[in-house]
Structure 1
C-alpha cells in the first residue's frame, strides 16, 4: 500500500507570526493615536499654553479620523 505525500501550501509556517504582527501594527498605531487624541482633548488651557498649543489646535487635531496622522 502506498501513501501519497501532500506538500503544505506554504513551505514554512514560520512566516505566519510575522504576517500577524505586520497586520496588527497599523491597528495598534491607530488605537494609540485615538487614545492620544482623547487625552489631548482633556488637557486644560494652562497646560496647552505650556505646550504651545491653542484650543483650536486641539479641536483640529481631535477632529481627524483615527487613521490620519
Structure 2
C-alpha cells in the first residue's frame, strides 16, 4: 500500500471531499466515527452511512 495517495479530482466539490473517505472504507473492515451532532450532510455521517451501505460494522462515538 502506498505511503501517500493522491486521488485527484477534476473539481473540488462535495464528491471530491468524500472520495478519500470512501477509499478508506472500501479497504477496511470497520469504521469508527466521532460525529459532532446529527447533521446527515456532515462528512462524518456521510462516511458512517457509506460504511453501513457496504454492510460493514461501524462504531459511532458522539462527541
Q: TM-score, normalised by structure 2?
A: 0.29
**Bigger radius of gyration, 1 or 2?**
1
